[in-house]
Chains A and B, each alone.
Chain A
Amino acid sequence: MNIKQAISNIESHELAVRVNIASDLKTFFKLAQQEEVVLWLGRQLDVYEIRLEILSRIYELSKYKIDLRYENQWDTALAVYLWLLNNRDPIIAKIAAEVTSQIPQCWWAVKLSRFILFEKELYSDTKDNITSKVISPPLSINLKHDAGEVQVCASLFSAIDKIYPHKYDFIIEAKNPNDSVSNESSYRREDHVVGQLNSKTNISEKVCQL
Chain B
Amino acid sequence: MHFIIGAGGEKDRASLQLYTRSREFIPNETRLESLPARLQAAKDILGKNHPRAKLRSSTSTYNCMGLVFASRRTWVDPGYIRLILRGDEYQRVANLFDVQIGDIVLYSDNNGKGITHVGIVVEIIPQIRTGSFQFKVMSKWGADGEYIHFMEDVPKQLGHPCEYWTDRR
Contacts and interface: CB of A to CB of B under 8 A. Distances in A.
A17 B45 contact: yes
B7 A123 contact: yes
B34 interface: yes
Nearest to B45: A17
A114 B1 CA distance: 10
Interface bin, chain B = 35 or more
B126 interface: no
Interface string A13-32: 11011101111101100110
A123 B9 contact: yes
B33 A135 contact: no
Interface in B1-21: 1-13
A153 B41 contact: no
A132 B142 contact: no
Interface stretch (A80-88, A98-106, A167-175, A202-210): A98-106
Given A14-B41, A70-B32, A136 B2 contact: yes
A32 to B, nearest CB: 11
A124 B12 contact: yes
**Interface majority SS (helix, strand, loop, mixed), chain A:** loop
Minimum-distance CB pairs A-B, first 3: A124-B9, A132-B11, A124-B6
Interface of B: 1-13, 24-25, 27, 31-38, 41-42, 45-46, 60, 63-65, 75, 77-79, 109, 114, 116-117, 141-144, 155, 157-158
21 contacts: A13-B41, A13-B42, A17-B41, A20-B60, A20-B144, A23-B77, A24-B78, A26-B114, A27-B116, A30-B157, A69-B33, A71-B35, A98-B1, A117-B3, A122-B4, A122-B5, A126-B9, A135-B2, A136-B1, A136-B2, A137-B1
